Each structure stands twice: as C-alpha cells, then as structure tokens.
Amino acid sequence: MGANVPEQGSVRLGPVSEFPIHTPVEVRFRDLDPLGHVNNAVYLTYAELGRMHYIRAMGADEAGGNFILARAEVDFLRPVHLGESLEVRTRVPRVGNSSFHTLSEIWAEGHLAARVSAVVVWLEEGRPARIPEHIRAAVRRLETLPVEGV
C-alpha cells in the first residue's frame, strides 16, 4: 500500500487501489456465530462502516439530506474468524438520479472474504430527491475509475 496515502482518522483515503476508501475493522466476539466465524449478517454491518466513511468523505453528512439503504447483496467467498485483521474497501461505480450504487470488498488477512453491493437513496424531507451536484462532484473527486452517471 502506498506511503503517500493521506489519512483521515484511521480511514485511509487515496489511490491505494481502485477503492478510494479503506476502513480497518476489528472482528469482535459478538460478531461470531456458534461455529466460530463471523455471522453472515455482520458482513452488512462491515460494509455499512465503509459506506459511512465514503459518505463522510463526500461531505454528504452535512448536505441537508439523508441516505438510506434500499438494497444490499452479499457474495460470501471465505469465512472470517476472531483475531483476523479486516479491511473494508469501498467505491461508487454508478450514480443515478436519486441513488447510487456502492461496492465494498471485505478483506481478511490479505484474502478477499466477501463482496457487498448496495443501492443507497438520497432523501430530502423524507422523499427521494436528486443527488446534489456537490455530492456528485465529490464522487468524481474520490474515484480513480470511471463512474457511470457522473
């Protein structure tokens, strides 16, 4: 990983890969199922952490609207266990009128453990609204790969 990557708290920003947001996650005992690996539902929480950091990096947490999760899909690739170091990598491959798609990869000890695709909708006064231009511009600024719709 690049030495010239700026930091914001413990979340790394920058061109480490095609994923501009890298969020470290600690596996907690409460994340485990009776078999000793991370419960399937917890992967959605890990992806939510990555989305939250992406939204903050966009400046959207102060934009006067709210994002809500409309859809999520998880591809489980390998189990994750207590004590493994995780990193959630997050990017936005597509922006629509009132929603955008996120792709998160959850890496455990250098191995891809899961992919999470999500659709997030921008709300103003409780209704879907056009994503503001400054948020679209922030996506263009953050992403190193082309983004459909911006």
Q: How many domains, the chain?
A: 1
R_g of the chain, CA atoms, integer Å = 15
pLDDT beyond 70 at 4: no
Name the nearest CA neighbour of 145 among 99, 86, 103, 115.
103
pLDDT beyond 70 at 15: no
Q: Find the CATH number of the domain harbouring 108.
A: 3.10.129.10
The Cα 136–Cα 77 span in angstroms is 31
pLDDT of residue 3: 33
Rounded mean pLDDT, 3-7: 35
Is residue 28, in this structure, part of any structural domain at all?
yes
pLDDT of residue 150: 85
pLDDT of residue 114: 97
What is the rounded (10 degree) CA torsion for 14, 49, 67, 121?
80
The answer to whether the beta carbons of residues 142 and 101 sit under 8 Å apart is no
pLDDT beyond 80 at 17: no
Q: Is the dihedral of CA 101, 125, 140, 146 positive or negative?
A: positive
Is residue 65, in this structure, part of any structural domain at all?
yes
The answer to whether the beta carbons of residues 46 and 21 sit under 8 Å apart is no
pLDDT of residue 7: 40
The answer to whether the beta carbons of residues 114 and 74 sit under 8 Å apart is yes
Is residue 32, in this structure, part of any structural domain at all?
yes
Q: What domain range includes position 43?
A: 12-142
Residue burial 23-49, b: 16+ Cβ < 10 Å; e: rest: bebebeeebbeeeebbeeebbbebbbb
Is residue 1, in this structure, part of any structural domain at all?
no
Which band of pLDDT confidence, cut at 50, 70 and 90, is reported for residue 16? low
Is residue 2, in this structure, part of any structural domain at all?
no
Write out pLDDT tens, residues 97-144.
999 999 999 999 999 999 999 999 999 899 999 999 999 999 999 998
Is residue 99, in this structure, part of any structural domain at all?
yes
Is residue 4, in this structure, part of any structural domain at all?
no
For 136, counting Cβ atoms within 10 Å of its Cβ (0-12 exposed, 13-18 middle, 19+ buried), the class is middle
Write out pLDDT tens, residues 58-106.
887 655 568 899 999 999 999 999 999 999 999 999 999 999 999 999 9
Is residue 150, in this structure, part of any structural domain at all?
no
Rounded mean pLDDT, 38-49: 96
The Cα 33–Cα 10 span in angstroms is 27
Rounded mean pLDDT, 28-43: 95
